[in-house]
A and B are shown apart, each in its own frame.
Chain A
Amino acid sequence: MYKVRHWVVRHSRVFESLYRCFEPLLVKLHPLWKRLGYARVEAPMRAVEKGVKGLLFDCQMCGQCVLSSTGMACPMNCPKTLRNGPCGGVRSDGHCEVKPEMKCVWVEAWAGSQNMRHGERIHVVQQPVDYRLRGSSSWLSVVREQAQRNNGDEQ
């Protein structure tokens, strides 16, 4: 929802903190996910992620979430699906070139990142989207990667 998404960006710092607590929690639950089987958890997790993030961020389920690097504004709502900043067509009132009724996603993202503790992440060049991951749960893939890294460190 457009209104909710604006509200979230205005409170990007709170959501950044929430995410910072939430991620380690999911990672801690790695043994549970493993026992249940990641493949089996995928569908329910995807559903939850889609519901929550859809409501808050108008999440488009690209499967490779970069919200914490984009001021909590989902870049997949940009009609050009840009992942690295605004195009050159932003209107003088800060609205989108393609959809004049919408505020440019990247104008929002910049404002959001300015409130965040790690707002400087917006300056890091993002890789293009891997289309194979579309529609999958990005939470689960982050958790799996993180857990693998942790285990790797232990060994």
Chain B
Amino acid sequence: MRFDDEPVPGYSLPILPGHVSPGRLERVLRAGKFAITAELDPPDSADPAEVLKRAAIFDGYVDAINATDGSGANCHMSSVGVCSLLTRVGYATIMQISCRDRNRIAIQGEILGAAAMGACNILCLTGDGVQAGDHPQAKPVFDLDSMSLLEIARGMRDDCRFQSGRKIDMPPRVFLGAAENPFVPPYDWRPHRLAKKVAAGAQFIQTQYCFDIDRLKQFMAKVGDLGLLEGPKRVHILVGVGPLASAKSALWIRQNVPGVHIPDAVIERLQGASKQKEEGKRLCLDLLQEIREIKGVSGAHIMAYRQEESVAEIIQASGVLEGRVPWYPGRDNPAQLNPESPDALGHSEQALSD
């Protein structure tokens, strides 16, 4: 899909009528296209080239890139730093903000800074507990929770006010998102909790990894009953998927990563395969295609930790983009390529044949 006004890197797009942000993700979702977002693994480094290299892997396959905020309570480059680097060359970013590490003063400042740097989407998260990460001795902050964070962010955007009531001159034009995990208890509350997030300001949702289609279907049906899939309370739901590297790593994730539900059947399927890594990708592809068919699902969020290079292949094979090529630096004007992309570095044969 092409809009007549694709971005000039570093400049924001006009805000379309009825939209809240100048971003491409909101445009794609509101146009009713199946959107793809992917998570960038932020480097343990201050090297900007590393960020651009990691983004280039997704060129042509994703509508927006998630910049994680100390995910798993591990220390990495900050989400606002990653977003700033990416928006400079034109990528659409989703800046994650977790309530674990900062209080409301820091978070509101960060929202303004990120919006000024061109981040158009913000994902409001509670955050994993510090016990899960590499600094278990750190002080957990949790001054806000994801819900109050959403409300504050919406107030900043729509009422031009900080939580204190003090006026903001130019509000952050951001599309607001939140996370949901339909796959952990209390199951019957999860759809209502989503409704609460929508009431607090969420316009899109990215879910935790889905390996259980039946549970997802039940969840989506309930969300539909609550009137959240159409009309004024419409929320765009992107379902989380990702390739598992092996049965062993699936077991490890199930044990050690908070909130990831992997049914036994999935682990058995991997165990039974001769090439487990390939089977993991096929499983991801199957899930993606099944998710595509579920009524009310607006897209998929791909978390391919340490397997980022397989994302393009999986999306390509699944056909969920239906021939659409999401914008990337250099798509329309090769002179504006991401300087760290293989094409720009002359490493790709495709660059020649194009």
Contact = CB atoms under 8 A, between A and B. Distances in A.
Given A92-B184, A98-B129, A104-B185, A83 B145 contact: yes
Interface string B166-208: 0000000000000111001110110011011001100000001
B193 A85 contact: yes
A136 to B, nearest CB: 18
A81 interface: yes
Interface in B248-264: 258-259, 261
A91 B255 CA distance: 10
Interface stretch (A19-27, A43-51, A121-129): A121-129
Contacts of B181: 88-90
Nearest to A127: B148
Contacts of A86: 184-186, 189, 193
A105 B212 CA distance: 25
A134 interface: no
A54 interface: no
A52 interface: no
A80 B148 contact: no
A106 B186 contact: yes
B104 A128 contact: yes
B131 A98 contact: yes
A107 B190 CA distance: 11
A92 B148 CA distance: 26
Contacts of A123: 192, 195-196, 199
B39 interface: no
A131 B126 CA distance: 19
Interface string B91-115: 0000000011000100000000000
A107 B186 contact: yes
A116 to B, nearest CB: 14
A87 interface: yes
Given A80-B140, A85-B189, A87-B126, A125 B199 contact: yes
Given A97-B129, A98-B129, A90 B147 contact: no
A89 B179 CA distance: 12
Contacts of B163: 128
Interface in A16-61: none
B186 A89 contact: no
B142 interface: yes
Contact of B184 (A83, A85, A91): A91
Contacts of A79: 129, 140
A83 B196 CA distance: 12
A84 B186 contact: no
Contact of B258 (A88, A111, A128, A129): A88
Contact of A88 (B126, B142, B148, B152): B126
Contacts of A88: 126, 179-181, 184, 208, 258-259
Contacts of B63: none
Contacts of A94: 185-186
Task: Select the residue from B127, B151, B184 with max chain A CB neighbours within 10 A.
Answer: B184
Task: Select the residue from B131, B140, B189, B199 with max chain A CB neighbours within 10 A.
Answer: B189
Contact of A128 (B131, B143, B193, B196): B143
A98 B259 CA distance: 11
B128 A89 contact: yes
A128 B189 contact: no
A82 interface: yes
Given A94-B185, A97-B258, A107-B186, A84 B129 contact: no
B144 interface: yes
A81 B127 CA distance: 12
A118 to B, nearest CB: 15
A84 B184 contact: no
Given A91-B184, A110-B186, A123-B195, A82 B128 contact: no
14 contacts: A80-B126, A85-B189, A86-B193, A89-B259, A90-B259, A94-B185, A97-B128, A98-B131, A111-B186, A125-B147, A125-B148, A126-B147, A128-B145, A128-B152
Given A86-B193, A89-B128, A123-B195, 13 more contacts: A80-B99, A81-B145, A82-B145, A83-B148, A84-B196, A85-B189, A89-B129, A91-B185, A97-B128, A98-B131, A111-B186, A125-B199, A128-B152
Interface of B: 99-100, 104, 126-129, 131-132, 140, 142-148, 151-152, 163, 179-181, 184-186, 188-189, 192-193, 195-196, 199-200, 208, 258-259, 261
